[in-house]
Amino acid sequence: MAATGGNTVFKKYVIPFALKTKAVMSASLKEIQQILRQKSIPEAMAAHKKFVPGLMKVYGVRTPVLNDLSKQFKTGGFELVKEVWDAGALEEKLLAVKILEKIAKKDPAKALALVQYFAPGIDNWAVCDAIGMQGLKTILKTHQTEIFALAKKYNRSANFWERRLSLVLVEWYTRDKTLHAEINKLVKPLEKDEEYYVKKAVVWIKKNFDKGK
């Protein structure tokens, strides 16, 4: 697939999004937060804190609730995705990614730009992996070039979550053996990475190679 503008495509939308940060919370976000509070349960709160260490803000909501919300609020478009992400809780970030997955095909350039917007705000493996595996899921086949470009950008980042993201973004492509050499160019620089979550991603991708996935 030929490249379609590389970072130029991304920059076209990153700047307008940054300028459109809302001073007043939208009605949709207010409704989302009300539902998240209503659906909060202690068991989910405990599970999140156990499996996603270091979280600062959690509602304690199960994944099926987020799935239903993503369907309900997908008409809010890319601006709502950004607003929900900016709200900052674990479930809000995961919901933003789930909504993005449902609308990415409508404007792939905006979807790619939002992944770039999200990346510096990743603070745990659950959000990192949701972005890498779900956010761009519907455009994986049509925008391989752009996704690999993003992976290469983050592969040498000083932010270890972005380094992990560089591998998670291309995990789906490990099923195509013709792309293994290209993916390996992303794996090799991280093989001696000292960060735990980067090491785990390297092992993950290599296991996919071994399974012939």
Listed by start position, the domains of the chain span: 7-211
CA atoms of 130 and 147, how far apart (whole Å):
15
Q: What is the per-residue pLDDT for 60?
A: 95
Q: What distances in angstroms separate CA 61 from CA 58, 65, 76, 89, one per listed residue?
A: 8, 7, 21, 11
Q: CA–CA distance from 25 to each of 28, 52, 116, 151 (Å)?
A: 8, 28, 23, 33
pLDDT at 48: 86
Query: What is the residue type of 93?
Result: K
AA letter at 147:
I
Q: Which residue stretches of the chain are H helix?
A: 7-19, 27-39, 42-51, 63-72, 77-87, 90-103, 108-118, 125-130, 144-155, 160-168, 180-187, 196-211
What CA–CA distances, in Å, run from 195 to 53, 132, 184?
Answer: 15, 18, 19
Read off the pLDDT of residues 98-156 as tens digits, 9 standing for 90 and up. 999 999 999 999 999 999 999 999 999 999 999 999 999 999 999 999 999 999 999 99
Positions of the chain with pLDDT lower than 50, given as ranges = 1-15, 19
Give the global pTM. Answer: 0.88
CATH of region 7-211? 1.25.10.90
Using alpha carbons only, give the angle 151, 168, 156 rounded to the nearest 5 degrees.
40
Length of the chain equals: 213
Q: Which residues contact 103 (CB under 8 A, 6 or more apart)?
A: 74, 77, 78, 81, 111
pLDDT for res 6? 41
Is the separation of the CB atoms in 36 and 92 below 8 Å? yes
Q: Report yes or no: 183 and 173 within 8 Å, Cβ to Cβ.
A: yes
In terms of Cβ atoms closer than 10 Å to its own Cβ (0-12, 13-18, 19+), residue 102 is: middle
Report the share of the chain in percent with pLDDT over 90.
80
User: Which segments of 52-107 does DSSP mark as H helices, in order?
Assistant: 63-72, 77-87, 90-103
Neighbours of 125 (CB within 10 A): 19
